[in-house]
Amino acid sequence: MGTPYQAVIVQQSYLPADYVQLRADCPALAQTALPRQQVHIVYQQLTTQPYPFMQVNADEGWIEVLYPITDAATQALSQAQQGQAIELQLAASPAITSCPQRALLLSQGSHFGGLVFLLSYWRQRHAMPLACSAIIEADAFPFRARPSQLIISGMPAGVIAAAPLLEDWQVASRLATPDTALVGCFEGTGLALAQEWLQSLSPMIKQELTVIAFGNTDWVQQVEAFKQEFALL
């Protein structure tokens, strides 16, 4: 793990499916945090898995992280109150800031937060891709899905559920649920949905498409193999 940063909890927002959005004051980290970087959160001598930044405000000195309540560390952290101290430890995770012409963003579980931060980073710099779509994989989501008003040509019929925040940002998204059946979601993995969609694209568009993954190490490695199979950037 990297250098520890001392932080203070500002608030915790409790979201659907046992997700929590943590905001903490940490001016030193807020000045340097970049998309797809991840942090371990230490509270009461318990250390969480690494989670990506979801939002950062360098001017006000705070960072936000989305985490699921899944184990003793996150259960304890979810009970922490405003004003309590925590420690943030940077994980060995590569940052990404470049903005491609065409992007497919793939996220798994709580790493949806990292996808949000990258889009926010681009939006703040007025540097969005010409075409950008997102596929979000989870068995339960930290938001209330809604039918998309944004068309993604080539998506399977009936796959219309989307992330409300991304809809508001005019980024077309679709949801995939590997182990549960939810209305409007693709029943299968995010990679399976991506594969179906890619088969509908022209060779020229595929050559211009950059795939960016947000997930745990094993899942990101699966995405890298997928990119090689389809000769994607």
pLDDT tens digits for range 175-198:
999 988 899 999 999 999 999 999
Q: Are residues 130 and 69 in the same domain?
A: no
Report field, pTM of the whole predicted structure over 0.85: yes
Last residue of a domain, which of 90, 118, 141? 90
pLDDT band of residue 233 (cuts 50, 70, 90) is low
Last residue of a domain, which of 39, 63, 90? 90
**Number of domains comprising the chain:** 2
Q: Are residues 119 and 184 in the same domain?
A: yes
Specify the residue for token string 């405000």.
Answer: 57
Residues 231, 233: Cα–Cα separation, whole Å: 7
Q: Are residues 172 and 70 in the same domain?
A: no
Q: Are residues 225 and 115 in the same domain?
A: yes
Q: Residue 42 falls within a domain, yes or no?
A: yes
Last residue of a domain, which of 41, 66, 90? 90
Specify the residue for token string 């937060």.
Answer: 113
Report the CATH number at residue 155.
Answer: 3.40.50.80
Q: Residue 78 falls within a domain, yes or no?
A: yes
Residue 58's domain comprises 4-90
Q: How many CA atoms lie within 13 A of 208 on its CB side?
A: 12
Q: Average pLDDT in the 118-135 region?
A: 93
pLDDT tens digits for range 94-123:
899 899 999 999 999 999 999 999 999 999
Residues 138, 107: Cα–Cα separation, whole Å: 8
Q: Are residues 79 and 108 in the same domain?
A: no
Q: Residue 96 falls within a domain, yes or no?
A: no
Could you tell me if residue 18 is left (phi over 0), alpha (psi between -120 and 50 degrees) or otherwise beta? left
**Residue percentage of the chain with pLDDT more than 70:** 99
